[in-house]
């Protein structure tokens, strides 16, 4: 199988992320395979693919969470927000926000305790005043004292999204932020994502929901850790399937289910 079905022209400007031949894996299993990719600043990019395609692994790598794991080998070079992909310190990683697939919240703590703990880890100045403003901005007052385990799926995602934004990141990494939420909560999440983009934040959001592609300016598709498409969603619609975006995305998912040799 070719490493790339279609490669479209990249947007001009500086890059928030640039990877050159990046692979990572453990003995007997490759998570990411020779990725070369550039994410321009200030855009929303959808990271697309079937389950197991490598989406979460790529987000964790960019967040600096894979480096140093026992038995894991990372090859290749790259930069994230102008800093080397490997060897970034805590202060450099704090310039980005990361929301894992399961939210990364402590279920037995309240919403307030979760965000207070995260603010302390980030060493935010005047954290109490900052949190008050942050809570209001994200509309978390109704659940502020509730334990996370008591929250609905939609509220959990809203809290996790707010936690990822505490440091005011210039790059936001979101792992399936709308999974398991109702249509209203999903619309609210995407409205916040677009608001961040208007403020100049670069957003990389993973999903296997074809509807999410319509919200994004860039599309990166993975299959078995390999890059199979990079470009604009409209370029995919023109180059694959019957000329529609939905048909092109279905074709990518079929590729994503083909085992890697």
DSSP 75-125: EEEEEETTEESSS--HHHHTTEEEE-TTTT--TTSBHHHHHHHHHHHHT-T
Q: How far from 67 is each of 30, 71, 148, 214, 222, CA to CA, in Å?
A: 15, 10, 29, 33, 21
Length of the chain: 261
Q: How many domains does the chain have?
A: 2
Residue 211, domain member (yes or no) = yes
Q: Residue 240 belongs to what domain range? A: 1-9+42-70+82-95+169-261
3-state secondary structure of 21: strand
Residue 217 tokens, joined: 């300016």
Residue 77, domain member (yes or no) = no
Q: What is the pLDDT of residue 87?
A: 86
Q: Render each residue's pLDDT in the chain as its tens digit; 261 residues.
A: 333 333 333 444 689 999 999 999 999 899 999 999 999 999 999 999 888 899 999 999 999 999 888 999 999 999 999 999 998 876 666 679 999 987 789 999 999 999 999 888 888 877 888 888 888 888 899 999 999 999 988 889 889 999 999 988 999 999 998 887 788 888 888 999 999 999 999 999 998 888 888 899 999 999 999 999 999 988 887 765 567 888 888 888 776 544 433
Out of 117, 137, 168, pick the residue that ends a domain.
168
Q: What is the pLDDT of residue 10?
A: 40
Q: Are residues 179 and 261 in the same domain?
A: yes
CA distance 33 to 197: 29
Q: What is the pLDDT of residue 8?
A: 37
């Amino acid at each position: 199988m070719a490493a790339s079905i279609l490669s479209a022209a990249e947007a001009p400007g500086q890059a928030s992320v640039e990877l050159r031949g990046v692979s990572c894996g453990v003995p007997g299993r490759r998570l990411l395979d020779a990725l070369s990719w550039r994410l321009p600043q200030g855009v929303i990019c959808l990271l697309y693919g079937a389950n197991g395609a490598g989406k979460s692994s790529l987000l964790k790598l960019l967040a600096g969470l894979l480096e140093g794991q026992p038995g894991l080998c990372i090859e290749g070079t790259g930069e994230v927000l102008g800093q080397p992909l490997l060897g970034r310190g805590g202060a450099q990683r704090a310039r980005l926000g990361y929301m894992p697939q399961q939210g990364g919240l402590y279920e037995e703590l309240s919403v307030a305790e979760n965000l207070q703990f995260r603010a302390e880890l980030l060493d935010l100045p005047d954290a109490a005043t900052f949190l008050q403003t942050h809570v209001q901005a994200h509309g978390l007052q109704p659940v502020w004292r509730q334990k996370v385990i008591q929250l609905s799926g939609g509220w959990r995602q809203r809290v996790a999204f707010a936690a990822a934004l505490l440091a005011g990141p210039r790059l936001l990494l979101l792992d399936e932020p709308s999974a398991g939420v109702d249509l209203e909560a999903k619309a609210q999440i995407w409205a916040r994502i677009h608001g961040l983009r208007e403020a100049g934040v670069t957003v990389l959001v993973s999903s296997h929901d074809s509807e999410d592609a319509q919200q994004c300016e860039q599309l990166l598709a993975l299959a078995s850790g390999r890059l199979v498409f990079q470009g604009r969603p409209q370029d995919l619609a023109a180059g694959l399937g019957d000329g529609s975006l939905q048909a092109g995305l279905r074709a990518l998912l079929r590729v994503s289910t083909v085992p890697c040799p």
